[in-house]
Structure 1
Amino acid sequence: MAIGLDREKKLHFDMSNVGLRAHATAAGLLQLCQELRHAGILDEPAIERIKNAIACDIEVSAPRSVATVAFRRDIKTRLDRLFAGEEKLGSADALSFASNPDEPS
């Protein structure tokens, strides 16, 4: 188990040294998924599982007051649009943990 953790720490350190951050990583993941989908390697259920994993992590890291059904729905809608190439990665202010999820963006 320690070997796996050491590798994860080294990978994290190496990615930080290269300058990879959340937006760069997300952009790469989106492009990779699009390429694999177009090549016929990933099917739609696989893409949905990837989006659900991302949505779950975002939801789990949100404070209880923010983690609502509407919040999850907003995350899923944004991920659907991103993976479809309809929306660029940018500010997540509308999903900010400090904002009220019921307020319009």
Structure 2
Amino acid sequence: MSNAYDKQKRLHYDVTNVGLRAQATAVGLIQLCIELRDANILSEDAITRIKSTIGDELAVGPYRRIASREQRSEIDARLNRLFTGEQKLGSADSLSFVTTPED
């Protein structure tokens, strides 16, 4: 395993243990990023790094193995639309990278 992967997995477990799984937290973070970008406090480069970090978390989450390149592109495209703050995304249930926990 790579050091970056190990670091992301540790962050995933730390965030989960704190309880930051909540959608309200994610929505608040996205809105905060949009507000800070609109106020010229966060650059597009910073937003890109934030989206990349979120994408990394989604790719290594507990309900899937490491996302394929196509699945990661799907994650990134949805994050890009989400961070515009304007486009509705619909349910993620039909996306190819969504899986159910193994019993």
Say what the alpha-carbon RMSD is for the aligned residues. 2.7
Classify the secondary structure of the residue corresponding to 2:73. helix
Q: Percent identity?
A: 51
The structure having more radius of gyration, on CA atoms, is 1
- In the alignment, which residue of structure 1 is the partner of 2:5? none
Q: TM-score, normalised by structure 2?
A: 0.66
Q: Whose relative contact order is higher, 1 or 2, with alpha carbons under 8 Å and at least 6 apart? A: 2
- In the alignment, which residue of structure 1 is the partner of 2:3? none
Query: Which aligned runs of 4 or more in structure 1 are off by greater than 6 angstroms?
Result: none
Q: TM-score, normalised by structure 1?
A: 0.65
Structure 2: stretches of 5+ with no match in the other structure: 1-13
Give the Å deviation of 1:78: 0.1
Q: Where do residues 25-104 of structure 1 align in structure 2 (5 Å cutoff)?
A: 25-61=25-61, 62-64=63-65, 67-88=67-88, 91-95=91-95, 96-98=98-100
Matched to 1:12, the amino acid is: V
Structure 1: stretches of 5+ with no match in the other structure: 1-7, 16-20, 99-105
Give the Å deviation of 1:87: 2.8
- In the alignment, which residue of structure 2 is the partner of 1:18? none
Q: What is the count of residue pairs matched by the alignment?
A: 83
Between the aligned partners of 2:18 and 2:53, the Cα distance in structure 1 is 20
Give the Å deviation of 1:52: 0.1
Classify the secondary structure of the residue corresponding to 2:94. helix
Kindly indicate whether the alpha-carbon contact (under 8 Å) linking 2:31 and 2:85 is maintained by their aligned counterparts in 1. no
